[in-house]
Amino acid sequence: MNVDESMLDVYIYETQQLLESLENTLFAGENDKKLNTEQINEVFRIMHTIKGASAMMEFEHMAKLAHSLEDMFALIRENDAGSYDWPAIFDNVFSAISFFNGELAKLLDKQTMDGDSSDLIAKLKLLVARMKGESAAPAATAKKEPEAVTAETPVFDHKGDEAYYKVKLFFEENSQMENIRAFGVVQAVRKISVRFAHIPEDLNGDAATEEIRNNGFLVFLQSGENPDRIKALLETTLFLKSCSVLPIDGDDEEVPAAIRQGRDTAGAEAAHETLQAKADDHQANGEGGVSLESVAKQNFISVNVNKLDNLLNIVGEIVTAQSMVINNADFGDRQHDSFDSAAQQLHSLINELQDIVMSIRMIPVSTLFQKMRRLVRDMSKKFGKQIELEIIGEETEVDKNVIDYLSDPLLHIIRNSVDHGIEDAATRTSNGKPAYGKITLEARMTGSDVIVTITDDGGGLSRDNILKKASEKGLLTKPESEMSDKEVYGLIFLPGFSTKDQVTEFSGRGVGMDVVRKNIGVIGGSVTVDSTPGMGTTHTIRIPLTLTIVDGMKFNVGKMNFIVPTVSVRSAVKPDVKDIFTDPEGNEMIMLLGNVYSLIRLSRFFNIEDAVTDLADGMVMHIASEEREFCIFFDHLDGEYQVVVKKLPNYLKHCSSSLDGVSGCAILGDGSINLIIDVNSVQ
């Protein structure tokens, strides 16, 4: 099948949705240790849909696996009260979900889908075999075939002089389920025949299909209809390749004895009410339609995220263009009242537009949080720990981009909590804690931020171990005794820090907490950790609500323009030179409102040569981030601007290894390029 891109998108999207609801169904069921009838039906239906779609896309391994699952649930569906090995069923379906998701991920990355589902299928086969063994007793396992009815009376008067015909049909290759197609032919023949017989006689099963494929479907019938009409009737059959109707002698050797004796072999087959009669009954119900309007109504549309990204970009450009117009130098200093009021109106409309565009991109964190449920489930099984995951505030909405960047950090932190944080049941009970460990995942909204906390009630971080490790790796910058607990815990975010040497399937794959900080940093957020030994650990992730349009303070150092997000700025002052001093190691410090902060000259940090060097000529900005407060020294403050954050172009990342201190850039209305300061990495 030739696949166009949009169909692939729909396939991926829909399959992902199905897998997600499948997973939720399983979680709901796992609490009850079994699935109820409705849930079984749903799982069956989902598998059926995935099977069909995957087969259409020619993703064979996906289709086969879905087929096996469908078969298994068909079996369960027939006897849903039976006792099954539910834990094994859950495990297998969860593994299958992982397989499907893995393949879909490859598809998304445009890689080849090289996953092999044979092992999973083999496991399912075993499970099904066991099920059949166990549930052989209940009668319900028998397939519900249509009830057998004894021979029917022909619909028309039998004059006794009707001719005999031999009909031979072939179906098109690849039309599939030829036995059922033959069954359809039988239904048609029944309506025009006094009596008939067919070869193969038994239309159930693969043997019949095989025979019809190889030798065709043979029908002998006695009918008052003329051969042309018989042929015309049979030729309406779909996927018919050829059809021949030959008059034969009723006493011909070839004619099955059954119809020569006047007995209808098909009599044992399913009979049905004459459709015409049934239809007549209902003809009166034909009218009373539904209006087209009610049919067409739909409240949701799905939109490609790229389009939303483009929309957001354009809104960003509009914001920039707006300030280009409003602050245009051509206006000079003259009064222009009507322009100002028009500009004001434009400004508020653009703000509204921006709000709407942002809100379109907002999605609840529930999907992401549910993913964690799966992780905790799988890991606690693996490590033999009993852990409960509590989710609070999953309806909290964040930008689509945030979800993408939040996923890995959450995975990582929760892995750590399960693997290193929560103790095994024995240790827990001996410490007087409940055997069940608990991880709480919470999202909540503050005015300008979304805060995600991950709390476990495990053993907590060990100050001593962290310090030991950090000093081994040479990561300490001041004496151990001078470091606060928070500072010590903060060490785990440094690159190259990892407390567990052992690499497990889930955690410690060479990525440390530094990746967590980096990922969160990309979306302008911050992460901190707090811990009480013996009681547990809390990670707090703080993410700004809007990502791409921020309020910032603009300043310059030499000819370079910089912007620092206003949320991080505490104050900006002309320093009093006598408040600035140098500590014994040569670091400059400044005293502000009775507190001492380190003073970083941006000109030195960024190697800018034409900058102000005399402290009396420049300015100081007091900056506070989640984990530290410090001051920067710069030349001149320009004012506050709303800017659109752009990622640094990739070619910059190639030519310089150090882009520390810069998180992005912004182009202002006057065309100037401004670097956005990453307050966490300036030091």
Span interacting with other proteins, options 39-47, 377-385, 628-636, 651-659, rule CB under 8 A: 39-47
- Minimal distance, residue 191 CB to other proteins, in Å: 12
Integer angstrom CA distances of residue 379 from 384, 390, 415, 671? 8, 15, 8, 52
- Minimal distance, residue 92 CB to other proteins, in Å: 19
Q: Which is nearer to other proteins, 284 or 593 (CB)?
A: 284
Q: How far is CA 283 from the centre of its chain?
A: 47
Q: Which is nearer to other proteins, 42 or 419 (CB)?
A: 42
Among 16, 24, 49, 598, binds other proteins (CB under 8 A): 49
Instruction: Name residue 597's beta-bridge partners.
Output: 590
Are 520 and 433 contacting, i.e. CB atoms less than 8 angstroms apart? no
Q: How far is CA 460 from the centre of its chain?
A: 32
Task: Please give the backbone phi and psi of residue 628, each rounded to the nearest 5 degrees, phi first.
Answer: -155, 165
Q: Which is nearer to other proteins, 153 or 291 (CB)?
A: 291
Among 19, 26, 35, 63, binds other proteins (CB under 8 A): 63
Q: How far apart are CA 314 and CA 631, in angstroms?
A: 35
Binders of other proteins among 182-211, rule CB under 8 A? 183-184, 187
Check binding of 52 to other proteins (CB under 8 A).
Answer: yes
Check binding of 172 to other proteins (CB under 8 A).
Answer: yes
Span interacting with other proteins, options 104-112, 175-183, 504-512, 591-599, rule CB under 8 A: 175-183
Length of the chain: 683
3-state secondary structure at position 161 = coil
DSSP states of 360-379 as a string?
A: HTEEETHHHHHHHHHHHHHH
Among 156, 239, 436, 497, binds other proteins (CB under 8 A): 239
User: Which of 436, 530, 546 lies closest to 492 in space, CA to CA?
Assistant: 530
Q: How far apart are CA 543 and CA 549, in angstroms?
A: 14
Q: What is the DSSP letter of 509?
A: S
Task: Please give the backbone phi and psi of residue 29, each rounded to the nearest 5 degrees, phi first.
Answer: -70, -35
Check binding of 145 to other proteins (CB under 8 A).
Answer: yes
Check binding of 14 to other proteins (CB under 8 A).
Answer: yes
Residue with tokens 């549309």: 301
Check binding of 361 to other proteins (CB under 8 A).
Answer: no
Q: How far apart are CA 399 and CA 375, in angstroms?
A: 23
Among 31, 81, 139, 143, binds other proteins (CB under 8 A): 143
Neighbouring residues of 280: CB distance < 8 A, sequence distance ≥ 6: none
Q: What is the DSSP letter of 329?
A: G
- Minimal distance, residue 393 CB to other proteins, in Å: 30
Q: How far apart are CA 43 and CA 29, in angstroms?
A: 11
490 to 529: interface string for other proteins, x by CB under 8 A: ----------------------------------------
Check binding of 55 to other proteins (CB under 8 A).
Answer: yes
- Minimal distance, residue 221 CB to other proteins, in Å: 18
Among 39, 92, 179, 499, binds other proteins (CB under 8 A): 179
Task: Look at strands 217-223 and 195-199 and give their pairing.
Answer: antiparallel
Q: Which is nearer to other proteins, 143 or 654 (CB)?
A: 143
Q: Which is nearer to other proteins, 15 or 380 (CB)?
A: 15
- Minimal distance, residue 186 CB to other proteins, in Å: 9
| CA dihedral over 54, 59, 62, 63, signed as positive or negative | positive
Strand ranges of the sheet holding 560-565, from the earlier edge strand across to the other edge:
636-644, 549-557, 560-565, 673-677, 662-667
Binders of other proteins among 275-304, rule CB under 8 A? 275-276, 278-283, 285-292, 295
> Residue numbers of the site for other proteins (CB under 8 A)?
1, 4, 6-7, 10-11, 14-15, 42, 44-45, 48-49, 51-53, 55-56, 58, 63, 67, 70-71, 74, 143-146, 172, 174-177, 179-181, 183-184, 187, 236-239, 270, 272, 275-276, 278-283, 285-292, 295
